[in-house]
Amino acid sequence: MPKPSKNPLVRCQFFSWRLTRRNDTWYADGRTNPTNVGRHSLGTLDKAEAMKLVHQLDQAQAVKFGIIKSTEVKRDPGPGVTLTEGRRLYEGHLLRPQMMGGVRRSTFRRYGPIFNKFEKFARLRGIGNYNQVDADCLTAYAGWLEQQHYAEKTVLSELVLIRQCVNWLAAAGYVEGHEPIKLKLHRVEGERAYCYRPVEVQAMIDLCRANPTLGWLGDVIVGLACTGMRIGELAGLKWADIDFDNRQITLTDETGHKMPAAERRTLKNGRSRRFPIHADLLVVLRRLLHIDAYVFHGPRGKRLHPDKVRRILVREVLTPLADRFKSATNGKSFLDGRLHSFRHYFISACAANHVPERVVMEWVGHADSDMVRHYFHLHDEESKRQMNGVDFLGTAGRTSGDVSVSSHPN
């Protein structure tokens, strides 16, 4: 007796759908119908739920191809698509292949906290499904975010994501009888982050090194200040990325590499880059223990989590030093500094030391329209000379004598 197919064929009212799984997510494939209705993510890991959702998809495609009118769609007497179910569906849509419009993994990870925040607001307002999310709801959500003192740019980005989610659910037929949400949203120019001064960076490193429980954070600050890396890039830095013989760090964008998605590094702009190791950073790298594949670690040798690093930086470093550094720039003071401020600091220090703009852009991975059109290939020796000509930390970064040894000790 033949074994039952692992990919069941579901014959719905209008089309037949072959259910398949990819990365544990269920998909409905309707390409074998006389009318090719495509292949769609059902956004669920549960087979029983997939069997239910495929019937909703069947009706949505029947409307799309003119077989029935939207007014003829059978209404589900239930409460509608729950916030949890709708989120899963939309996340499945976002995770489709990038060549088909899916988002990068790094972008997808940023969306999780946004959905969590919206769901918290929804629970407070008694909202349990996406049928209840309309323009009035998002207007109230914007007000709630402002009361929580979120920046205008943050409010804008969160409204855009939730609106896109609701509109996609409606267009795909998961939210029935729901008109697209139309909100007039004005783009907000983001405020420039506070840029640390050399004396402030030195004070932060000194404070961390004077406290045995914060030594790891001092190393992180040196890493950020001497490379201009984003905190996510530093947290993901591996020993395999470091060439001690040539004193180079290579950050490779691994989008499309054949490896588990959780292990795949994705850089913000998708461009790999390489830059020299500054002498002050070299001291730290040679001192760090090889706990695992990753270079930098948090308290008790745990993996770095950017948000946790940010909280500790504010609580244990910036706040204690705030009275010492009260000067303000463009309305911002030392206490307004954050982890990304070290990237601003790196670029500013390079500019102050007359490092050519194109060299700095190679190091930090920036590219504007002009740089995209005119590629610049930086020779290694010139790059090293420029990097070592910058004094990021003064004597704060050096704990021992000569650091010119060109190989990593065994």
Per-residue pLDDT tens over the stretch 225-267: 999 999 989 999 999 999 999 999 999 876 666 656 556 676 7
Task: Name the least confident of 346-360, 368-382, 390-404.
Answer: 368-382
Q: Return the percent helix, strand and coil in the chain, to nearest 5.
A: 50, 10, 45
What residue segments make up the domains of the chain, in order of their start? 9-171, 198-388
Confidence of residue 349 (pLDDT cuts 50, 70, 90): confident
Pairing of strands 39-41, 25-29: antiparallel
Q: What confidence score (pLDDT) does residue 364 get? A: 85
| Contact partners, residue 203, CB within 8 Å, separation at least 6 | 321, 324, 325
Q: Is residue 275 classed as helix, strand or coil in its secondary structure? A: strand
The full length of the chain comes to 410
Q: What confidence score (pLDDT) does residue 382 get? A: 57
d(CA 129, CA 408) in angstroms, rounded, equals 57
Task: Name the least confident of 81-90, 352-361, 382-391.
Answer: 382-391
Q: What confidence score (pLDDT) does residue 164 get? A: 93
Q: What confidence score (pLDDT) does residue 185 get? A: 76
Q: What confidence score (pLDDT) does residue 255 get? A: 65
Per-residue pLDDT tens over the stretch 66-91: 888 766 665 443 456 889 999 999 99
| Contact partners, residue 89, CB within 8 Å, separation at least 6 | 41, 42, 43, 44, 53, 81, 169, 172, 174
Contact 306, 217 (CB under 8 A): no
d(CA 248, CA 407) in angstroms, rounded, equals 11
Q: What confidence score (pLDDT) does residue 269 get? A: 67
Count other Cβ atoms within 10 Å, centred on residue 289. 7
Q: What confidence score (pLDDT) does residue 371 get? A: 33
Q: What confidence score (pLDDT) does residue 159 get? A: 93
Per-residue pLDDT tens over the stretch 271-292: 788 999 999 999 999 999 999 9
Per-residue pLDDT tens over the stretch 60-69: 888 888 888 7
Strand order in the sheet with 242-243: 242-243, 248-251, 273-276
Q: What is the mean pLDDT of the chain?
A: 82
Q: Sort 50 into a burial class: Cβ within 10 Å, 0-12 / 13-18 / 19+.
A: buried
Count other Cβ atoms within 10 Å, centred on residue 226. 26
Q: What confidence score (pLDDT) does residue 191 get? A: 58
Q: What confidence score (pLDDT) does residue 44 get? A: 81
For residue 387, what are its two tokens? 């990097």
Angle between helix axes 152-171 and 135-147 (nearest 10 degrees) is 160
d(CA 16, CA 9) in angstroms, rounded, equals 7
Top-confidence residue, 311 or 53: 311
Q: What confidence score (pLDDT) does residue 73 get? A: 61
Q: What confidence score (pLDDT) does residue 282 get? A: 96
For residue 322, what are its two tokens? 């705030």
d(CA 68, CA 89) in angstroms, rounded, equals 24
d(CA 154, CA 374) in angstroms, rounded, equals 33
Q: What confidence score (pLDDT) does residue 25 get? A: 84
**CATH superfamily ID and name for 198-388:** Intergrase catalytic core (1.10.443.10)
Q: What is the mean pLDDT of residues 209-222?
A: 96
Q: What is the mean pLDDT of residues 181-191?
A: 69
For residue 77, what are its two tokens? 């007497």
Top-confidence residue, 6 or 82: 82
Confidence of residue 219 (pLDDT cuts 50, 70, 90): very high
For residue 254, what are its two tokens? 């691994």
Q: What confidence score (pLDDT) does residue 350 get? A: 85
Closest CA to 57 of 37, 77, 71: 37
Closest CA to 21 of 45, 51, 55: 45
Whole-number Cα distances in Å, 258 to 97, 170, 264, 292: 14, 35, 9, 22
Top-confidence residue, 265 or 306: 306
The residue with tokens 């060109």 is: 406
| Contact partners, residue 264, CB within 8 Å, separation at least 6 | 105, 254, 255, 257
DSSP structure string for 333-358: EGGG--TTHHHHHHHHHHHHTT--HH
Q: What confidence score (pLDDT) does residue 314 get? A: 93
Q: What confidence score (pLDDT) does residue 183 get? A: 79
Q: What confidence score (pLDDT) does residue 324 get? A: 92
pLDDT at 135 over 60: yes
Per-residue pLDDT tens over the stretch 370-380: 432 222 334 45
Task: Name the least confident of 134-143, 178-187, 251-260, 358-367.
Answer: 251-260
Q: Is residue 188 classed as helix, strand or coil in its secondary structure? A: coil
